[in-house]
Structure 1
Amino acid sequence: MIIRLILLLTFISIFGQFNFEEPSCHCDFTLAPETEQMNGFKTLVKPGDVICIMAGKRKNLQLINIQGDSINPVKVINCGGRVEVSNMVLGYGIKLDNCQYIKLTGTGDDKIEYGFLIDSTKKGAMGVMVGKGSSDFEIDHLEIKHSGFAGIMAKTDPECDGSYTRGTFIQKNVFIHHNYIHHVKGEGLYVGNSFYTGWNGNKKCPDTLLFPHELKNIKIYDNKIENTQWDGIQLGCAVSKSEIYNNTIDSFGLANIGSQRNGIQVGLGTTGLVYNNRVLNGKGNGIIVLGIGDNIIYNNLISDCSEFGIFCDNREVRDSSKIILINNSILNPKMQGIKMSNELTDNYILNNVIIRTGEPGDKKDYFISFGDKAAARTEGNYTSNKKSLIKPLLENRFVSDVVQKGKHQDVFSVDKDINGKARRKSGSPDPGCIEF
């Protein structure tokens, strides 16, 4: 008896310093790994609540009717370590249905950069699916790999009864950032619908022309996207205040399917800014612009694309709109650095660097080319076929050939370079995405 007491006291003295309680994440609700669904209407989730997803392996997670407000969003966060999702049965790993003012974030553990891991979904399934009228949401610090289709898909397709058609629903205030998406069978990010001009309905209403909802105030930034079979980032129907910036996209379009192999696709119905992105090693165009005009593409580093560096196609555009391509560095594209095929007359191609290897001879369109009715003001662009310039420009090293070879312009102010360095105010500007 005395020996047992001594052993017990020894155990307490040694192990009493450790806390064996469950981690405290300041939760209003906790979902154990075996809990696959939460309905905010049934559980009475209110604005400002924190829903903790407990660490461990789980099959899937579906959040339905989670509704915060513009001042107090509902936070959904990992707790106690990493949440690992693998689902080879359903069409998603994590799904948000009819959720508004919600933040899904993997920042619950300071030691883990991506607190949610969605690893493997079945063929055609998404890593994360956001739909059924979801809006005003934020998704950050997730790692998604081996999904059967897109890493993250965020859109709600219109239905035959008129639900979610243009004019009845707007997906707004969307922020997707600091995610790591890789080795997926479709797009890395698929945000908004691809068919802005509409399409005939499904089997339920084949004679009805359906128009997808619009998106407003969309920011996609600081994501790392690698090894996608289709596009790296695709954004469609974003009619106002859209920005795609500070993303790194490497090895895209690997399935080599026509029209599905671009680094960044500024899709139909989309306006806004694309800047400070690094787009590398793809089977298609670095950036393709199919939007409605007032698209400004600047400070992007585009390297080793199998088609054009930047391709602007002829699609539906707003009257009196324009496209500005300025201070981009396009290195070693297999086709022209820039191809302008849209019929807007107020276009600008300014202060870009295009290095295309080979012998251009007397071809005027070797670096920049135009479609039959396309036109643009072109000034301050530096072009060369010197292969020796590619590596230092790719590595942000000083290249004397390029310094101050641009021209001052008053079309759009580019105050900083891709690295955040202020651009010079006096003398001729540096073309390309780097300020030397």
Structure 2
Amino acid sequence: MSAPAPSAERHVDAFADLRRGYNRPMRLIYAPAIAMLLLNAACPGPAGTDTDGTEGTEGTDGTDGTATTSNGSVPTESSDATSVPTMGDPTETSVGPTTDGGDGNLEIAIVGEGTVAADPPGQTCTEAACAYDVPAGPVSLTAAPSAGNRFAGWSGDCSGAELTTEVVVETTASCTATFEPLPQGALPASIRASREIVRVPADDAPPSDSETTLAIDTAVALTGVQWAVFAADDGSEIATADTAEYVFTCPDGRRDYDVRATITDGQVQSTLFERRLVTCVPPRSDAGRTVHTADIGQASYFQNGEIGGVKVQPGDLVRISGQASSDFAFFNFQGTAEAPIHIINEGAVSNDDTSWLMHLINCQHVIIDGKGADDVEYGFKLTNTGAGGQAVFVRNYTQGGNTNTGSTDIEIFGVEIADGPDSGFRIWNGGSDEFNADNWTFENLRLHHNYVHDVLTEGFYVGYYTDSIEQQPPPYPIEGAKVYRNRVENSGWDGMQFGSCRSGLEVHDNVVTASGLANEPNQRSSLQWNPGNSGAAYNNRFIGGVGVDLQIGCTGGDTKMYGNVFVHSDGGFYLHAGQADAPRYWLFANSVATPNAAGLRINMNSAPGNCGAGAPLSEMHYASNLLVGSVEQSWEFAAGDADTAGWTLAPNLAWTADPAELCLDEALAPTCSDSAALAGGGAALADLGLTAADLPGGHFVDIDGRVLAGPSNFGAHQAATP
């Protein structure tokens, strides 16, 4: 609100007189030179000296000597940062607060995003223009840039680039503070959570169970951090903060959350993003639930949804303890979406040297939680050095009184599988007369924060390997599967294999090392993306595979693969692309090392699953990939041919020399700022027919967690900093 007009006529628009060309008397001086100016006024200088003495006083042209500066921000090195943008049409400038209270008039204009505090009168200007009546004498002005901006400098009757300046007002003064957006930069930093598995609050649980501290790991002296937490399922903003560290508390209800941090050192800003960094799960306290206990050293084969002869109801808690060497299975445990059955470890739980290390048969809405104790990283440890059997197997069939009901909505975390006799995680059903693709869908599978190592076959085997119409009864599909933040080491066959995951599949932030060690034909991929899949694989690290890095079968929908690192395998990508009604493929911003063939080989004659041989792909986008190996071709047809006029097959960077010559380390991350991998030339998202909104989490993020406009460079490390 404007202050009442003073007795002398005063226009509400503080700049109206300037627009009419009227220049009111004004004296702006350095405070230490007051005596000298008074002397000049009393004793006029030689001819040519203004009666105000302003030309006889050094620096009163408003650019060199109209103000003094004190502690503030470091001036920017960019000439653009210290220049003053031209203000728009003054007639469109609205004036903010005005005050009475003095015989001087101070006018402040703000260009950009920020505020200016004036003392006197002890007020802060937050609008484009403000006018204050102040006592004659010195006035301190302090600029404060808004988040994501920096102070560019003062102009008008003030000058300099320090945040704080002082202007002496005798009658009228006018100063402009200019702010500009911080330029984007690649600050070397990453987001860290003190814990990634966090509990939904409960009255009988300590508050710390529901809290995680979000922080930035960096050696850079940061001047600002802005946090935002989003629900991973719909992108809704849940919480924000502007502190260096932020304690996030789980809201009520199971959910997983993305975390974004915008950081600045005062000169540039970087945005970091971690998909599903925080997963909120049910309390480990009783939380008012019915509790069942079982020591698997006494009994480990639980049928008909019962523990000790008592039926486990939806919403119940099952506490498992002990060590066993016998089949460990849960038959027909069935919760609901609102009240899942929660099975949690109590201390270290292990099962050794048996065929069924942990099986879930005919189970629905069940959580296997191996994070029940702070001092045990993986609460369920499953080992079997002998041959035969499986570790974790989720399936369905009828056995005695255990009626086949179909499996769905299973979440498993905190499980270690060591020396597995077969695959680590096997989640599929081959189809049956009761439950198949015609009448059943397995929904909402979630596998995260597990550790699989030294298994004979696949680390993860999710979904039946084919959706072939020849398979009768047809296996039912999986929809909405999320597989993230797992580790796989030393698998005999494929590191990870997915099939028949019809929609919503996301595979991200996993680390897979040394896969395909048995060197079994057609079972040697770091990642095998089998027929029927539709979804995205991103920000994964696949290191040291024996066969091809990535094998893609006929997919069931759009497939996006980006930001992945594949290093030290024998071959690059292999795509079975002969298919009818083909979906779309995006393979971009990946780093692929040591392929013995072209980075991508496309077989137009191969038609596994429901594919029809010879039909062209509807869309192919293969760009911004970094390919380091023994051949220069970024892609080639392995068999057949196709009209590629509508495909995107460039740009890609193929390199056959020593990666060190390209400033790349063993993981193909640039080690110097002038690496050719960071020299631009990559494809924009728009070139690939995408926007950020088309990607999981609504951001394009490189493998280092940096949010970028698009894959403008080559490889998974899009903005690596040396």
TM-score, normalized by length of structure 2?
0.52
Q: 2:302 aligns with which of 38, 45, 56?
A: 38
The one of 132, 140, 150 aligned to 2:413: 140
User: CA offset at residue 56 of structure 1?
Assistant: 3.2
Counterpart residue identity of residue 134, structure 1: S
**Structure 1 residue 29: deviation in Å?**
0.6
Distance, in Å, in 2 between the alignment partners of 1:409 and 1:430 is 12
2:277 corresponding residue in structure 1: none
Q: After the TM superposition, which residues 338-377 of structure 1 pair with which residues of structure 2 at under 5 Å, given as runs?
A: 338-342=600-604, 343-357=616-630, 360=632, 366-370=633-637, 371-374=639-642, 375=644, 376-377=647-648
1:409 to 1:379, Cα distance in 2 relative to 1, 3 A: farther
SS at match of 2:464: coil
Q: Shift of the alpha carbon at 1:321?
A: 2.0
- Distance in structure 2 (CA, Å) of the matches to 1:353 and 1:36: 50
Aligned to 2:450: 179
Answer with 381-390 or 187-196: which moved more: 381-390
- In the other structure, the counterpart of 1:4 is none
Structure 1 CA distance for aligned equivalents of residues 589 and 670 of structure 2: 16
Asked if 1:281 corresponds to 2:549, the answer is no
Q: What is the correspondence of 1:52-131 to structure 2 with a 5 Å cutoff?
A: 52-79=319-346, 81-88=347-354, 90=355, 92-120=356-384, 122-131=386-395
Distance of aligned partners of 1:199 and 1:85 in 2 relative to their CA distance in 1, 3 Å threshold: farther
Per-residue CA deviation, residues 53-97 of structure 1 (Å, 9 max, x unaligned), is: 114344232111111111221111110x21111133x3x200101
**Is the CA contact (8 Å cut-off) linking 1:58 and 1:83 kept in structure 2?**
no
Change (3 A) 1:217 1:390: farther
Task: Give how far 1:391 is off.
Answer: 4.7
Residue 199 and residue 345 in structure 1: after superposition, are their counterparts in 2 closer, same or farther (change >3 A)? Answer: closer
**C-alpha displacement at 1:340, in angstroms?**
2.3
Q: How far did 1:353 drift?
A: 0.8
Q: Secondary structure at the match of 1:402?
A: helix
Aligned match for 1:423, one of 668, 683, 708: 708
State the alpha-carbon separation in 1 of the partners of residues 535 and 641 from structure 2. Answer: 23
Secondary structure at 2:384 match in 1: strand
Give the C-alpha shift of residue 320 in structure 1.
5.4
- Match for residue 165 of structure 1 among 436, 456, 464: 436
CA contact (8 A) 1:135 1:173 kept: yes
Cα distance, 1:121 vs structure 2: 6.0
Distance 1:164 1:122 in 2: 32
The gaps in structure 1 that reach 5 residues or longer are 1-23, 201-208, 361-365
Q: Is this contact kept in 1: 2:503–2:557, CA < 8 A? A: no
2:525 partner letter: N
Answer whether contact 2:565 2:592 (CA < 8 A) is retained: yes
Q: 1:305 aligns to what SS in structure 2?
A: coil
Give the Cα–Cα distance (whole angstroms) in 1 for the partners of residues 624 and 352 of structure 2: 47
Unaligned runs of 5+ in 2: 1-283, 397-405, 605-615, 693-698
SS of equivalent residue, structure 1 residue 103: strand
Q: Distance in 2 between matches of 1:198 and 1:270?
A: 15
Matches of 1:118 and 1:74, distance apart in 2: 21
Residue equivalent to 1:267: 530
**Residues 117 and 390 (structure 1 numbering): CA distance in 2 closer, same or farther, change over 3 Å?**
farther
Q: CA deviation at 1:369?
A: 1.2
String of CA shifts for 1:125-174, please: whole Å, max 9, x gaps. Answer: 11111111221000111110111111111112223xx1222112211110
CA distance in 1, matches of 2:505, 2:677: 31
The answer for the alignment partner of 1:331 in structure 2 is 593
Distance in 2 of aligned mates of 1:52 and 1:45: 12
Q: Secondary structure at the match of 1:377?
A: coil
How far residue 211 of structure 1 moved from its aligned partner, in angstroms, is: 1.1
Q: Please state how far the C-alpha of 1:393 moved relative to its aligned partner.
A: 6.0
TM-superposition CA deviations, 1:345-394 (whole Å, max 9, x none): 41011111111146x4xxxxx33112422433122311211212485261
Q: What's the secondary structure of 1:379's corresponding residue?
A: coil
* 391-400 or 281-290, larger mean C-alpha shift: 391-400
Cα deviation code 1:80-117 (max 9, x no counterpart): x21111133x3x20010111000101101112111110
Select between 145-154 and 341-350 the one with higher mean Cα deviation. 341-350
- Mark the structure with the bigger radius of gyration: 2
Superposed CA deviations along residues 295-323 of structure 1, whole A, max 9, x for unmatched, are 1111100111112x221113545x25211
* Counterpart for residue 232 of structure 1: 495
| Aligned residue identity for 1:225 | V
What residue number does 1:16 align with? none
2:665 is paired with a residue of what secondary structure? Answer: helix
Q: How far has the Cα of 1:122 moved from its partner?
A: 4.2
SS in 2 for 1:144: strand
In 2, Cα distance between equivalents of 1:310 and 1:418: 18
1-structure distance, mates of 2:426, 2:411: 13
CA distance in 2, matches of 1:325, 1:108: 39
**Contact kept? 2:589, 2:718, Cα under 8 Å:** no
Q: How many angstroms apart in 1 are the aligned matches of 2:387 and 2:407?
A: 24
Aligned with 2:583 (options 321, 327, 333): 321
* Code of the aligned partner of 1:386: A
SS in 2 for 1:124: coil
1:357/1:385 contact within 8 Å kept = yes
Question: Percent of aligned positions with the same letter in both sequences?
Answer: 26
- Which residue of structure 1 aligns with residue 259 of structure 2? none
For normalisation by structure 1, the TM-score amounts to: 0.84
Tell me the CA shift for residue 434 of structure 1.
1.1
Q: Does the 8 Å contact 2:533/2:557 carry over to 1?
A: yes
CA contact 1:304–1:334 (8 Å) conserved in 2? no
Assess if the C-alpha contact under 8 Å between 1:153 and 1:191 holds in 2.
Answer: yes
Q: Secondary structure of the equivalent of 2:587?
A: strand
Does the 8 Å contact 1:192/1:235 carry over to 2?
yes
SS of the residue corresponding to residue 677 of structure 2 reads coil
SS of corresponding position for 2:548: coil
The residue aligned with 2:68 is: none
Q: Which has the higher contact order (CA 8 A, sep 6+)?
A: 1
Counterpart among 301, 322, 326 of residue 565 in structure 2: 301
Q: CA deviation at 1:292?
A: 2.7
> Mean Cα displacement is larger for which, 405-414 or 228-237?
405-414
Distance between the aligned counterparts of 2:657 and 2:426, measured in 1? 41
SS in 1 for 2:348: strand
8 Å CA contact retained: 1:34, 1:58 = no
- Aligned equivalent of 1:405, options 681, 685, 688: 681
Q: Rate the CA distance shift 1:196–1:234 in 2: closer, same or farther, 3 A.
A: same
- Provide closer, same or farther for how the CA distance between residues 314 and 378 of structure 1 changes in structure 2, counting only shifts above 3 A: closer
User: 1-side partners of 2:428 and 2:663: how far apart?
Assistant: 38
Residue pair 1:84, 1:116 contacting (<8 A) in 2 also: yes
| Number of residue pairs the alignment of both structures matches | 390
